[in-house]
Amino acid sequence: MDDDHLSELFWSVARNLRHLNREALEPLNVSPSHGRALNVLLKHGSLRPGALAEHLRIAARSATEVVDDLEQRGLVARAPDPADRRATLVTLTAEGRAAGDAIRSARQQAAERFFAALSDTDRTELTRILRQLRD
């Protein structure tokens, strides 16, 4: 198998999974970038905006826009960082935590549908390969 074909196949599968995730988020009225931000905050707890940007691999300005949108929706709040009062922390609200949990559930269900055609053995092997490529 040539590498160009493998690369195209990989990106095609990734596009299909992204499309399925977008569809899963539509009923929740959350964009993929908002969903990713909520997921990072669920996983890591309160973060400074710059740290959130790093986790999301986006520019700090873009992270500020995401936080502004989430704050307007009542999903996050900004608060002074107790370690440095000049800095700000982004924290999930109760509504944000509930939305994050709903997003995780929707994504998990979408992934289950997406990978349903694979046997347990194939899923295990795919997981091993993807972890190897990631690391």
Residue 28 or residue 54, greater confidence: 54
Single pTM value for the model: 0.82
pLDDT at 102 over 90: yes
Res 4 pLDDT > 80: no
CATH code where residue 75 lies: 1.10.10.10
Residues whose CB falls within 8 Å of the CB of residue 110, separated by 6 or more in sequence, listed in order: 20, 21, 23, 24
Q: At residue 3, does pLDDT exceed 80?
A: no
Structural domains counted in the chain: 1
Per-residue model confidence as pLDDT tens digits over 65-95: 999 999 999 999 999 999 998 999 999 999 9
Q: Which domain holds residue 51?
A: 3-134
What pLDDT score does 134 carry? 86
Task: Provide mean pLDDT across the span 23-35.
Answer: 90
SS (H, E, C) the chain: CCHHHHHHHHHHHHHHHHHHHHHHHHHHCCCHHHHHHHHHHHHHCCECHHHHHHHHCCCHHHHHHHHHHHHHCCCEEEEEECCEEEEEEEEECHHHHHHHHHHHHHHHHHHHHHCCCCCHHHHHHHHHHHHHHHC
User: Binning pLDDT at 50, 70 and 90, where does residue 1 land?
Assistant: low
Percent of all residues in the chain with a pLDDT value above 70, rounded to a whole number: 97
Which one, of 109, 119, 83, lies nearest residue 21 by Cα? 109
For residues 52, 50, 47, 22, the Cα torsion angle rounded to the nearest 10 degrees is -20
